[in-house]
Amino acid sequence: METAKRLDQGKRSKPRWKKVVWWMGGIVVFLLASASLFVNVYTSRSLPQVEGETQLTGLQAQVNVTRDEQGVPHIQAENELDLFRAQGYVQAQDRLFQMELARRQASGRISEVVGEVTVDQDRYFRTLGLRRAAEKSLAIYSDEAVARLQAFADGVNTFIEKEALPPEFAMMGIDPEPWTPLDSLTIGKYMAFDLGGHWERQAFNYFLLQNFSEEEAYELFPTYPDEAPTVLADHEPVDIEKNLTHAVIPNEFNGSNNWVVSGERTASGKPMLADDPHLSMATPSIWYQMHLDAPGYNVSGVIFAGIPGIILGHNEDIAWGVTNVGPDVQQLYLEKRNPQNPKQFLYEGEWEEAEVWTETIEVKGGSTEEIEVVETRHGPIISDFAAEPGNDTLLSLCWTALEATKELEAVLEMNRASDWASFEKGLENFLVPAQNFVFASKDGTIAYKANGQIPIYNDPDDALLPQKGWEAEDEWQGFIPFEELPMTINPDEGAIATANNKITSEDYPYHISHNWAQPYRYQRITEMLEGKDELRPEDFQTMQMDVKNLQAEEFLPLLMKNTKVVTNLEKEVIRLLDNWNREDDRDLAQPLVFHRWMAKIEEELYNVDLPASMQAFFTGSGQTTDELLRMGEESRWIQKAGGLEVVISEAFQKMLAELTEEYGKDPSKWKWGEAHAVEFTHPLSSIGFLERFLNPGDPYPVSGSRVTVRAAGFNRQGLVNHGASWRFVIDMTDTNEAYHVVGPGQSGHFRSDWYHDQLTSWVEGDYHLTKTEEYTGDVLTLSP
């Protein structure tokens, strides 16, 4: 009876357990639904208001903001101060979190929100002193420019004070501080940092001379020096690998393409211009497209988030674009420290007092850290920012961007220019970074100027290595006069192009740089322009998407000639290469083979003798490898690796083994796009589940490479992370309109329709037309 009773109770208890399970399941579903609803509501409430009316403190009159189909804001104001106040507000609507990260990174304050992992990075930027340089710069800006910077900052701050913040602020657990003009200038200084100046290559050359014979070292120099340097004498060497490997090195492929043709060569009879800056690619885009319209100020184009004005684009009369000149504007100096007084350094037989700054780094979840920054007459000591000084010889960095400069004032002047004379006048204040400006005007003028503050060296070879900080003869001898910078106006051929290539001939009296980009992009641009007339905007768009690989055209015959081919697989791969049209098309196998082969050749040449920690300093290694291959058996680096045939064959075998393991044994089915794809990753997407919200999904296969006009640089995982961050084409016959692509989109808010809407356009080369008249879209009225 007891057994039967227990069984009966058990039977009756089962429904209760089922009810509990269903009840608990219901709670889980309810909580998930509630969480999803909360996330949906929370994130949606921070979407920018794009229509209706809202108040903007400080306005003198009403301002209209029309966002067109691509999310490009067209801001119409009755005066310039209202225009820049509205620009600050609108930028904050779409890009406030990006602006916050940008000012923190440039100021060395990332660790406050990230933690210990970024302390070395913050130490480095505090040592460089970009914000200190911005402070010096702000002091020399005109009252008019400061008023516009302040108006922009006021607009940003109105948004911060009254609107819901983007969800990333809650994710990071931070609240933004008020925006200031100093923040805008600091971001401007960071862009000068991002476009570099070659100090890291000087450090690498110095490392080579410490560790290899002079003959071997000189082969890896970007330019073979005329005479053996004496810089290694008379001092205790600095250990580059120990003291500098935590330094932040900008992407070596930061650059661009631009070109302009006269009206004699276009279908419209007016000049036509194209520009596509090559920078890191992520979400949000580094560029923000805008149109600014006020009496006497009507300009359209792109700007970095956090900065007023338009840095690249056009107005009613002119258009302009830039590429990086890449001059030697950074110089390392060896400094002798007084053993009795660590704040004194030798100069011309006397001990000079250095400036000393105390920088406090707050670390999320860690201890606050104080660092001491020492600046000599040349600049900050950078060789011990992340390591204890080992001796009394240190390295300082002299760099034009650390001086007081007025680039944002120049931008505001350029925006209002109406012809070449007034535009060039604005360039007088655009000192860093040095840029190749191409220019077109409705009056028919086309022009070019390599503009910026470029040092004069006693001897060009001095720019190859650190110099003696204790001798006056090793100082820069001033700067190239503005009127003597490389320039051309209305050349006979009716076309001008630059692609970070060498821009001066042998008879130019000044040294510009030892470090130029590989010439293939420039060669291909001039090849496509040669003999072409009746050009139209669609022709320029096609040129910007061109993927012809002139590096392969030069070196593939050499590679195939020096490769031992035995197996059927090897014969099939060579047959494919022999039939290749030399285009880096995402659907072809040959680009995958060629680029992996070239990478393996570099490994064969360098990996045994060059530490991995130093290879980041070997910027421009591609140019060096090209030159070693041209030298062939005369190269000591090729000889020590076994000779040309051994190097090429070994690299071929390793490349094949790698590709067959990754993509199978049938080369005809390999595709470049399987190893070369773009994603536009968000900086917070590495945080677990956030990737599915912040990134667009599977990476998109992409054509092009580092050496094609359609620039598409990639990391070791094959992710395309560098390239044409903005594409721009304009025909000056109608300056009301121009063609643009901003990948992946305008907005930084992942719930926005304009977050990734231009991703496929960027991949496929589809441009949108932006007008400065008769545009339509959602209208937001900003009222006083």
The residue type found at 12 is R
Distance CA 528, CA 521 (A): 11
- Collapsing DSSP to helix, strand or coil, 566 comes out as coil
Residue with tokens 């072409």: 532
Distance CA 733, CA 537 (A): 11
**Can you say whether residue 632 is alpha, beta or left, with left for phi > 0 and alpha for psi between -120 and 50 degrees?**
left
To the question of whether residue 328 is assigned a binding role by annotation, the answer is yes
The residue type found at 552 is A
Catalytic residue, chosen from 107, 184, 256, 383, is: 256
Give phi and psi for 65, each to the nearest 5: -120, 110
Q: How far is CA 502 from the centre of its chain?
A: 20
- Collapsing DSSP to helix, strand or coil, 523 comes out as helix
Paired strand residues for 720: 678, 714
The residue type found at 123 is R
Q: Is the dihedral of CA 631, 635, 638, 642 positive or negative?
A: positive
| Neighbouring C-alpha atoms within 13 Å toward the C-beta of 593 | 30
Give phi and psi for 713, each to the nearest 5: -75, 155
Q: Is the dihedral of CA 656, 658, 662, 664 positive or negative?
A: positive
Q: Is the peptide bond before 481 cis (omega within 30 degrees of 0)?
A: no
Is the separation of the CB atoms in 755 and 296 below 8 Å?
no
Name every residue whose Cβ is closer than 8 Å to that of residue 203 and which is 6 or more positions away in sequence: 240, 244, 332, 395, 466, 617
Distance CA 143, CA 181 (A): 12
Distance CA 428, CA 468 (A): 31
* Residue 499, token pair as written in the block: 């692609």
* Residue 224, token pair as written in the block: 């073979």
- Helices 550-561 and 621-631 pack at an angle, to 10 degrees, of 40
Of 768, 775, 772, 738, the residue nearest 270 (C-alpha) = 738
256 given a catalytic annotation: yes
Pairing of strands 73-76, 63-67: antiparallel
Distance CA 111, CA 122 (A): 7
Residue with tokens 């640089």: 713
Buried/exposed code over 456-485 (b: 16+ C-beta within 10 A; e: otherwise):
ebeebbbbbbbbbbbeeebbbeebbeeeeb
Compute CA distances 268 → 148, 442, 536, whole Å: 37, 11, 8
Compute CA distances 298 → 80, 82, 184, 295, 439, whole Å: 10, 14, 21, 7, 17
- Collapsing DSSP to helix, strand or coil, 590 comes out as helix
Report how far apart the first and last C-alpha atoms of the chain are (Å, whole number). 87
Annotated binding site: 328
Catalytic residue ranges: 256
Annotated binding site for Ca(2+): 328
